Structure formats: C-alpha cells, structure tokens
Amino acid sequence: MKEFDIKKTDLSPKIILNKEENFYLFSGKSVIENAEEFYTPVFNWFKNYYKNPNTSTNIIFFIEYFNSASSHQIGNLFNLFSKHKNTLLNVCWLYENNDELIKEAGKEFKDFYDINFDLIPVNPEDTGIFDF
C-alpha cells in the first residue's frame, strides 16, 4: 500500500500514513477552511487500509490547535476507526502538558468513541519531535 504524506503548513497538519512501517501521524495545526476536502484523501486511504490492516495500528495525534470544521473531520476519522475491529487500534493523543484545551478535546474524543485512546502529556520543549 502506498505511503500517504502531506507536508505541514501554517493551516494544515503533517500527515504520514505508512502501512509498511506501521507509522501513522497527524501533527501540527488544523485550521483549514474546507476541512472535509482536505481530509477526504485521508478517509479514502484508511478505507483502503482496513481491507487488509496490520495486526495492530497505533495512530499518533499531536494536533496543536484545530477549528470546529477540523474537529468534525477528526471525529469522523475516530468514528471510522471504531467501526473496524479487524486490527488492534490505539490512538495516542499527545498534548503539551500546559495545554488544557487540547487535553480536554482529547478527553472528549476518548469518552465519545469506542477505541483505545491514550492521553499523553509532553513538555513544550519537546514539541519539535515531529518536525521532520
């Protein structure tokens, strides 16, 4: 399956979806005006992935900030994940340890969707770990 890689911009997150490496990352801001259009290729990639997924799938979300349109699309992704039980899925929701807003958003997603979900605080000094 072909790797999916979107470069980070000031408005959109870096997204890496790599089945062979079993590496899935969403990192950065997501304040896109047309979030549905932006995230449609991501949905399509995962729909194809779920035809023959890895045994386990760990997805890292390190979203610094997102608007309501992006929140809706992220929720739609979690809904898609919750419908597929043919892989052991875990979402790692990283947030800066002083960012209560993103932490609370993660808690809301965790409470609402039927998926394994870890909330993981990181030090602000370490936030560059996904800048590649």
**What DSSP assignment string belongs to 46-80?**
HHHHTTS--SEEEEEEEEEEE-HHHHHHHHHHHHH
Q: Which two tokens stand for residue 38?
A: 């932006």
Domain residue ranges in the chain: 4-130
Q: In this predicted model, what pLDDT tens digit does every residue of 74-113 receive, in sequence order?
A: 999 999 999 998 899 999 999 999 999 999 999 999 999 9
Contact (CB, 8 A) for 57 and 89: yes
What contacts 121, CB < 8 A, 6 or more positions away?
A: 94, 95, 96, 97, 103
CATH class of the 4-130 domain in this structure: alpha beta
Q: In this predicted model, what pLDDT tens digit does every residue of 6-32 receive, in sequence order?
A: 999 999 999 999 999 999 999 999 999
Task: Check: pTM over 0.85? Answer yes or no.
Answer: yes
Per-residue pLDDT at 3 exceeds 90: yes
With b for 16 or more beta-carbon neighbours within 10 A and e for fewer, the 13-30 pattern comes to: bbbbbebeeeebbbbbbb
